[in-house]
A and B are shown apart, each in its own frame.
Chain A
């Protein structure tokens, strides 16, 4: 087994320029052997060049990823003495985060990011550490920064940021909705974001707004029986009983025509239960 090895000057940002690739029969570098072989390779390199701080940091980072926290700590402490201590601080922060030492983690990541503010991975780690120690305002600063600079953000980033807004101030539903709406504006109407917004609108009893938002998912979710049930539940709560009944009847009729699955069975039960509740409430 062999692995392609390539190098290029770290000063070059243009792909393929001055890139030199060749094959080395380095069995222990096979990516498919996972992290352990990489650690084995790093062991050899550290043996050959124990003075290089970067190797100790790299091995420490992999050991953190692999859950060997004591070994990682030993490597990172050793690395700190071999060069600028701040270069160890991102991985040190990650290690402390994994240990549950969130204050120490955040402090280390602060030091690192002061010197290397463009490192988005460490910024994400700091956001996680600050969330964990409930310094939600600080976490929110990093998450907002990541949302801002990411040209193709994942929906999950908007959800996490909105959650952080609410963690800072549980009543800050409007700013949280603004984050979600920013995501919808940039990524398109997607259930992951709009459903969270609907939950927030419902929580603050803005049922008309929740209904308006759910209507934007009507075509997205193909007016599925699940969508109709949810709309029926909202309409009922909003006092539109006839609309709710009509939706439930339609959802029940259509779901009975579809291939039965466990999820559809559960949906049928919910439809039946909601219909019963509406009938009971209606006297």
Chain B
């Protein structure tokens, strides 16, 4: 099958067989706004050597006789070369060249036309959350383990399915999302994926800079003058991307939020969704899957911005006619993960406030507009909900679980293991109004125990999430009874969408499937 682009997990992809005019290989190559007829390609060489070079794209395979499509490039924010090529064919395999730089692995497949299936009939999506740990020495190598797990899984299945979309759920560059941390934790971990697959990101709290304190307060000035600042990340409560403090001086970085420089996201509807007017949230049509990326880190913290995001979401979902709808954002509305208990947001302050706000303000919209699955990170574990409707309160305020879930043949909440969920179930009243929520913030590290302020008995036991029989904590569990409602291991979520089913699997670092669920239509 032409579609197959082997998933190579070496970091050497960008450094082999190059005949570049520049003196070295690019340190990053990224595909953006990949649509049926166009693509944006971004790249950057080290040491500010990036120059504006033409980019050419050639179809390979059956339409090889086509003339190459070429476009001039410009140097954009962050020193990236960037070119947009138009006039492409749908569902076609292309190779590309940046200036004189060519490589057999610089290739991508355009998606099929609106709501059509690709030639192989399936859209494969790889989802990782909180994966940016390569820039944390204590977790070096762990994100690569997760990708290796996916590779092992795919190998067992004969490598028959190529990757179509790569989704990252925020906290993709610890600790504060500097450009250097993005380089280390993202571009150097996934070079092969990023140069051949469209990546769809969302903003996490660790993309939003430092808080700062004077060094004299910590007796750590050394020979530095008083006023030198000690800083740490992940606790920004700002709604303003311009407030990003990336150089740790306690003031806004004049270069702004690196996330917004690195990615070129479709704010004007270029990828099929409705124009949002901001790169902080956007949507994409890809084959027969509609993916919405919301901004739970910034926009959700300001009433006017959140209102604008809600209005846009309603317009976007109202215009969406694709078979499947997937929503991503960083802060999970339901979680009992370490240090991120969605029930104790008021006690924990603004870091986790978006968990509550997303649950109360947005989950009703997902249900009203036929969203199928929602994926978040933030908690470094795996949790997956029942097929839910109407749950916008904290778990102590919940009515009996049966009132929110699809029920199995025994009248109990259906965990979706013995049969798939159905968009229009027997009990839904003929409308698609249920959603599965997955927390997958374990793409770069996994928390193995509750935090000091967590209720240990409730840890990984949110009632909206299904018990996990593969739970190995405390010696494992023999049945759903007693099992944690989550898994404290690293891994990724693999999503396959065809015309009639949307199938999700949680795959650990060994390539083993530890949870699986499907929605049919």
**Footprint of B on A, CB under 8 Å?**
2-16, 19, 23, 29-38, 45, 48-49, 52, 54-55, 58, 62, 65-67, 120-121, 124, 150-152, 154-157, 159-160, 163, 183, 187-193, 195, 220-222, 224-227, 258-265, 267
Contacts and interface: CB of A to CB of B under 8 A. Distances in A.
A187 B423 contact: no
Contact of B218 (A12, A37, A45): A45
A156 B175 contact: no
Given A120-B243, A152-B241, 18 more contacts: A3-B232, A4-B232, A4-B233, A5-B230, A10-B229, A10-B251, A32-B451, A33-B451, A33-B452, A34-B339, A35-B349, A49-B216, A124-B240, A155-B308, A221-B319, A260-B424, A260-B430, A262-B367
Contacts of B227: 10
A48 B217 contact: yes
A34 B217 CA distance: 21
A191 B239 CA distance: 21
Contacts of B352: 34
B305 A13 contact: no
Contacts of A52: 214, 216-217
A15 to B, nearest CB: 5
B365 to A, nearest CB: 8
Contacts of B1: none
Contact of B269 (A155, A220, A264): A220
Contacts of A4: 135-136, 174-175, 232-233
A155 B352 CA distance: 24
B478 interface: no
Given A49-B216, A190-B275, A192-B312, A263 B307 contact: no
A30 B232 CA distance: 9
Given A19-B248, A33-B453, A121-B243, A188 B277 contact: yes
A168 B305 CA distance: 21
B260 A152 contact: yes
Given A15-B179, A29-B232, A160-B304, A259 B225 contact: no
B267 A12 contact: no
What is the predominant secondary structure among interface residues of chain B facing chain A? loop
B373 to A, nearest CB: 15
A6 B231 contact: yes
14 contacts: A3-B233, A7-B230, A13-B254, A15-B246, A16-B247, A23-B138, A33-B452, A34-B339, A34-B453, A155-B308, A160-B304, A188-B275, A195-B315, A227-B318
Nearest to A217: B315
Nearest to B351: A34
B317 interface: yes
A10 B521 CA distance: 57
Contacts of A159: 304, 307-308
Contacts of B216: 49, 52
Given A52-B216, A159-B304, A261 B247 contact: no
Q: Which of B254, B298, B305, B346 has the most CB of A within 10 A?
A: B305
B368 A221 contact: no
Interface in B146-179: 174-175, 178-179
Contacts of B425: none
Contact of B432 (A30, A49, A225, A260): A260
Nearest to A7: B230
A49 B137 CA distance: 31
Contacts of A29: 232
Given A31-B175, A55-B217, A190-B312, A15 B317 contact: no
B228 A9 contact: yes
B512 interface: no
Nearest to A189: B275
A31 B248 contact: no
B340 A191 contact: no
Contact of B369 (A124, A190, A192, A263): A263
A238 B205 CA distance: 48
A115 to B, nearest CB: 15
Nearest to B272: A222
B29 interface: no
Interface of B: 135-138, 174-175, 178-180, 205-206, 210-211, 213-220, 224-225, 227-235, 237-243, 246-256, 260, 267-269, 274-280, 298-299, 302, 304-309, 311-312, 314-315, 317-319, 321, 338-340, 346-352, 367-370, 423-424, 430-433, 451-453, 521
Contacts of A152: 241-242, 256, 260, 278-279
Contact of A156 (B225, B252, B305): B305
A220 B274 contact: yes
B349 A8 contact: no
Contacts of B228: 7-10
A62 B348 CA distance: 11
Q: Which of B214, B238, B255 has the most CB of A within 10 A?
A: B214
Q: Which of B175, B217, B269, B350 has the most CB of A within 10 A?
A: B217
A3 B175 contact: yes
A90 B232 CA distance: 22
Nearest to A32: B339
A142 B275 CA distance: 27
B217 A192 contact: no
B219 A120 contact: no
Contact of A23 (B137, B251, B304): B137
Given A15-B179, A48-B219, A155 B277 contact: yes
A263 B368 contact: yes
B521 A183 contact: no
A66 B350 contact: yes
Contacts of A23: 137-138
A151 B254 CA distance: 11
A141 to B, nearest CB: 17
B348 A36 contact: yes
Contacts of A6: 210, 230-232, 248
Contacts of A32: 234, 338-340, 451
Q: Which of A15, A19, A195 has the most CB of B within 10 A?
A: A15
Contact of A154 (B178, B205, B248, B305): B305
B247 A14 contact: yes
Contact of B304 (A151, A156, A188, A225): A156
B137 to A, nearest CB: 6
A190 B250 CA distance: 34
Contacts of A265: 431
Contacts of A30: 339
A34 B273 CA distance: 35
B223 to A, nearest CB: 11
Contacts of A160: 304
B255 A7 contact: no
A157 B305 contact: yes
Contacts of B234: 31-32
A191 B312 contact: yes
A183 B277 contact: yes
Nearest to A187: B277
Contact of A191 (B274, B347, B430): B274
A65 B431 contact: no
A65 B350 contact: yes
